[in-house]
């Protein structure tokens, strides 16, 4: 086990161009395209049919599978199609297409839930459709109901927002601080967790001061100022920085007594408790050197990317790269026809100069990737092992502990795509472990016959 005060990391250019830009609502689009899979887990099945009229907040997709989060209509209008096509999750999924009527009528089912017990609280969390809004999209009701609840003593509210460009969490904290504190307190109460930590990176002094003032008489909640070192918002890093506990690869935060929630997640939860409105909109930053009017916007889930970009004045040139998320860990999108999902926190659009990677040159063994890696890995060793498909070396040097934070690639003067290679290497190791497990199972079952 590493014995250090802080995990390593790197200093990145922040490019917080939308800092101070309040979140503005986007007009309702003509159509929304709502996928049945917006979370880690089982796909939903449509609960509506073509021709049905739906209202805002109405349930349109669900599944009784344990790991699943229901989906709701983000607009009022008519279901005009239920089709399968590619989504930004990288798979072909069922999508419910709704032609909006412009009325935004609220469904009769949207009423505040009755919550007086832990079970009622967990039921409400599931009914809200909430998933992790920091990007992971793991169903929140599963996260809040770990197999070892008696061992969980700390709730961490992640307000780091350490990725460059993205400011929507910062603006959310300033606009909805009281609701976030209330949501934190309620989660502590209903889950019987002793301590809450609202962790905010140090480049947001106004948010830190605001939350310290709001919690000064709430001893259960601490406001923690995170260092200005990327990636403070990564789950394993923020747990160590705030509690000193090490979360190793393959384990869940609850295994070290912690639950981590994004600030937007805790806000949406509190808003559901107050109003009964499930998760139907998503706040995100729209930026990049081709966006004419960078903004923080609130968007109906299912809105196409191009309509969000148009709302921000369109582009000033031909896009080379479009990212969902930040430039360090975001995913590149093939076009602007994909729809906004629950887990999106940014759309970044870049031109040819910014979006084209420089050619790789030879590794000079400078060690910058090693010095920056929060998990104390050796990225060059892992990348070279991937190049030669050396499975044993990938296991020996613990490829599965990589968080894919991008620190190594960012630091590399040779522009070697270390993080991407290690991501592929992790897939190779995982496939081998699955094959070994399947072989062992087959042998065990064969021995019983």
Residue 72: half-sphere exposure toward Cβ, Cα within 13 Å? 26
What sign results for the dihedral spanned by CA atoms 230, 233, 236, 237? positive
Amino acid 9: pLDDT: 94
Distance CA 123, CA 45 (A): 19
| pLDDT at res. 1 | 38
In sequence order, what are the residues at sequence separation of 6 or more whose Cβ sits closer than 8 angstroms to the Cβ of residue 206? 174
Angstrom distances, CA of residue 179 to CA of 24, 56, 211, 267: 18, 22, 11, 6
Q: How many CB atoms lie under 10 A from the CB of residue 117?
A: 10
Mention every residue, 6+ apart, whose C-beta is less than 8 A from residue 252.
146
Instruction: Give the whole-angstrom CA distance, residue 211 versus residue 198.
Output: 8
What's the token pair of residue 138? 């793991």
Backbone angles phi, psi at 128, to 5 degrees: -70, -15
Amino acid 380: pLDDT: 96
| Bond into 111 cis (ω within 30) | no
* Gyration radius from the chain CA atoms: 22
C-alpha–C-alpha distance, residues 271 and 265, integer Å: 10
- Residue 411: the pLDDT is 95
| Assigned token pair, 290 | 């081709």
Q: What is the pLDDT along the chain (449 residues), one digit of tens a residue?
A: 345 678 899 999 999 999 999 999 999 999 999 999 998 888 999 999 999 999 999 999 999 998 999 999 999 999 999 999 888 777 889 999 999 999 999 999 999 999 999 999 999 999 999 998 876 788 999 999 999 999 999 999 999 999 999 999 999 999 999 999 999 999 999 999 999 999 999 999 999 999 999 999 999 999 999 999 999 999 999 999 999 999 998 899 999 999 999 999 999 999 999 999 999 999 999 999 999 999 999 999 999 999 999 999 999 999 999 999 999 999 998 889 999 999 999 999 999 988 888 899 999 999 999 999 999 999 999 999 999 999 999 999 999 999 999 999 999 999 999 999 999 999 999 999 999 999 988 888 876 65
Q: Is the dihedral of CA 52, 57, 60, 64 positive or negative?
A: negative
């Amino acid at each position: 086990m590493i014995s250090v005060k802080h995990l390593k990391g790197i200093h990145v250019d922040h490019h917080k161009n939308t800092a101070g830009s309040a979140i503005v609502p986007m007009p309702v689009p003509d159509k929304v395209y709502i996928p049945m899979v917006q979370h880690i887990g089982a796909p939903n099945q449509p609960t509506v049919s073509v021709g049905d009229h739906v209202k805002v907040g109405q349930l349109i997709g669900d599944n009784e599978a344990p790991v699943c989060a229901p989906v709701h209509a983000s607009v009022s209008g008519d279901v005009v199609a239920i089709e399968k096509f590619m989504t930004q999750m990288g798979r072909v999924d069922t999508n419910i297409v709704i032609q909006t009527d412009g009325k935004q009528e609220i469904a009769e089912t949207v009423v505040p839930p009755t919550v007086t017990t832990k079970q009622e609280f967990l039921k409400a969390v599931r009914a809200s459709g909430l998933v992790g809004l920091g990007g992971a999209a793991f169903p929140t009701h599963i996260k809040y109901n770990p197999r070892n609840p008696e061992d969980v003593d700390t709730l961490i509210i992640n307000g780091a927002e350490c990725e460059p460009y993205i400011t929507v969490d910062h603006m959310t904290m300033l606009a909805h601080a009281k609701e976030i504190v209330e949501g934190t307190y309620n989660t502590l109460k209903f889950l019987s967790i002793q301590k809450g930590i609202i962790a905010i990176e140090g480049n947001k002094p106004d948010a830190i001061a605001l939350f310290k003032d709001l919690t000064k008489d709430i001893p259960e909640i601490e406001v923690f100022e995170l260092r200005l070192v990327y990636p403070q918002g990564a789950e394993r890093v923020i747990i160590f920085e705030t509690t000193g506990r090490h979360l190793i690869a393959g384990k869940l935060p609850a295994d070290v007594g912690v639950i981590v929630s994004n600030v937007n997640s805790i806000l949406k939860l509190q808003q559901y408790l107050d109003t009964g409105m499930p998760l139907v909109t998503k706040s995100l930053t729209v930026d990049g050197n081709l966006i004419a009017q960078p903004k923080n916007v609130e968007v109906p889930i299912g809105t196409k990317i191009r309509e969000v970009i148009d709302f921000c004045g369109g582009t000033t040139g031909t896009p080379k790269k479009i990212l969902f998320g930040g430039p360090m860990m975001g995913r590149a999108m093939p076009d602007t026809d994909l729809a906004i999902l629950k887990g999106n926190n940014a759309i970044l659009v870049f031109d040819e100069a910014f979006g084209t990677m420089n050619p790789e040159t030879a590794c000079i063994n400078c060690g910058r990737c090693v010095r920056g890696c929060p998990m104390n890995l050796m990225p060059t060793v892992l990348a070279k092992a991937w190049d030669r498909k050396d499975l044993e070396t990938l296991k020996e040097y613990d490829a599965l502990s990589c968080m894919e934070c991008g620190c190594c690639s960012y630091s590399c003067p040779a522009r070697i795509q270390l993080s991407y290679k290690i991501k592929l290497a992790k897939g190779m190791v995982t496939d081998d472990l699955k094959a070994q497990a399947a072989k062992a199972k087959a042998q065990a079952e064969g021995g019983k016959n």
